[in-house]
Amino acid sequence: MLCREGRGSTRRGSHLVMSEPNEQASVGDVFKPGQKVRASGIYKCDSGCGHSYSTNVKGHTFPPMDDGCSGQGWKLESKTPAGD
């Protein structure tokens, strides 16, 4: 279920999906595949199955979800200094 959570973000269940390109990323934020990475770090699929992790660098684009994955985006688990 989607509901608006103020300008530039959407809440999907308990996860915040960021959509404004200039906002900073915080641990726990979820981003859609194809969006620009705002913070270098380790991201986890938001499906809750724990099956997919991705290391992403600020300025790059988030990859698509794995085939058969029920997740909707990448949740920031921890930030890293690489590329920032």
DSSP string, 40-54: -EEEEETTSS---EE
For 18-37, what is each residue's pLDDT tens digit? 556 567 899 999 999 999 99
When pLDDT is cut at 50, 70 and 90, the band that residue 2 belongs to is very low
- For the chain, count helices (H), then strands (E): 0, 7
Q: Which sequence spans correspond to the domains of the chain? A: 2-79
